[in-house]
């Protein structure tokens, strides 16, 4: 039953991300294969000010978990690591960067240093994660 739930969750997550409008991004230190938007979402429950960092799949950034998230899905762009006491796992999010651009993602991971209003955004490579650096962001918790 657990595997069926994980598969169903993965399918729903992928479908939700596929419905988002994705366009190329070259600035804000975000992977060019991730999607951006220039408008804040209209349907959200809450907005949090947060500090964002980035990480990549594999042991360099993700230790013994390698390419897997906390819920068992693959680490990939669009995955956001959160403190589940602040943002429940499975929550759809919109991350707005200081330059006004933003991206949609889903809270699928946690991290040892991800406490309180801190998030970690998955990238494809360690180089992209380093380039992202540390940024102040607004996190929209979507309905």
Looking at the domain 2-142, which fold is it? Answer: Barwin-like endoglucanases (2.40.40)
Q: Are 122 and 76 in contact (CB under 8 A)?
A: yes
Where are the domains positioned within the chain?
2-142
Q: Look up the pTM and report it.
A: 0.73
Q: Which helix or strand (DSSP H or E) is residue 105 part of?
A: strand 102-109
Residue 37's pLDDT is what?
59
pLDDT tens digits along 33-65: 455 556 778 899 999 999 999 999 987 777 777
Question: In sequence order, what are the beta bridge partners of 118?
Answer: 51
Q: 44-68 in b/e burial notation, b at 16+ Cβ within 10 A? A: eeeebebebbbbbbeeebbeebeee
């Amino acid at each position: 039953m657990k595997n069926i739930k994980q598969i169903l969750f993965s399918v729903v997550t992928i479908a939700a991300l596929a419905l988002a409008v994705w366009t190329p991004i070259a600035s804000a230190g975000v992977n060019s294969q991730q999607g951006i938007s220039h408008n804040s979402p209209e349907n959200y429950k809450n907005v949090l000010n947060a500090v964002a960092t980035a990480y990549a799949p594999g042991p360099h950034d993700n230790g013994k978990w390698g390419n897997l998230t906390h819920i068992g899905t693959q680490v990939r762009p669009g995955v956001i690591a959160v403190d589940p006491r602040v943002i429940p796992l499975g929550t759809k999010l919109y991350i707005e960067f200081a330059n006004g651009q933003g991206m949609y993602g889903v809270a699928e991971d946690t991290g040892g240093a991800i406490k309180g209003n801190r998030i970690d955004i998955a990238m494809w490579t360690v180089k992209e994660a380093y380039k992202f650096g540390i940024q102040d962001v607004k996190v929209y918790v979507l309905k």
